[in-house]
A and B are shown apart, each in its own frame.
Chain A
Amino acid sequence: NAGVTQTPKFRVLKTGQSMTLLCAQDMNHEYMYWYRQDPGMGLRLIHYSVGEGTTAKGEVPDGYNVSRLKKQNFLLGLESAAPSQTSVYFCASTSLGRNTGELFFGEGSRLTVL
């Protein structure tokens, strides 16, 4: 059981380049999330999705876009990367049937923007 899988795990970009992070879950979860983790700031929500074809902004959405074309996949895009987007990105998912809202996390994608 793979759970939540993120690709790539590491990436180095130059300022202004674009890239997409892919999150895939095999648990048939309705809700999916993208967080970023920075030292001393915990995890901050970027965007989230409550179902296929729907997305919404989280706490720090600027500079990012997302898409949820398939229920199992949630893509995070950076159109023009900036050094401030150097971070570790985590995808998470949960199910409507789990009324405790426990999130299941991927192992993270470490992005460096030079």
Chain B
Amino acid sequence: AQSVTQLGSHVSVSEGALVLLRCNYSSSVPPYLFWYVQYPNQGLQLLLKYTSAATLVKGINGFEAEFKKSETSFHLTKPSAHMSDAAEYFCAVRGTGGTSYGKLTFGQGTILTVHP
């Protein structure tokens, strides 16, 4: 079974500072990993995904994540935070095989606050 742990339910940064949101996963097979973003009162939007190609994945809005198998991590980063990045971010791992196809297991979410 897959699982995801997001370290830190709330992260606060200043505008222009580095954003680092942590995600660790557990999977018995090579995983497919995702980061989604949710703005207030909206659905989830895909930021980026890891599908066993390049370990450094670039997404939308300047975000990127690095897959580190040895650390079972998939942390999300952005060099310079913008006020519009304030949202909740979810890390997710994909179910593998058979009827688990496409089922995502989500982490608890991290709320990112950006201060002027």
Contacts and interface: CB of A to CB of B under 8 A. Distances in A.
Interface of A: 4, 31, 33, 35, 40-45, 48, 50, 56, 58, 90, 92, 94, 96, 99-103, 105-108
A100 B108 contact: no
A44 B109 CA distance: 12
A101 B43 contact: no
A90 B44 contact: yes
Interface of B: 6, 9, 32, 34, 36, 41-46, 49, 51, 90, 94-95, 99, 101-109
Contacts of B45: 105
Given A42-B90, A42-B109, A105 B102 contact: no
Contacts of B94: 100-101
A107 B41 CA distance: 8
The 8 closest A-B pairs by CB, nearest first: A42-B106, A105-B43, A101-B94, A101-B102, A94-B102, A107-B43, A43-B106, A105-B44
Contacts of B46: 102-103
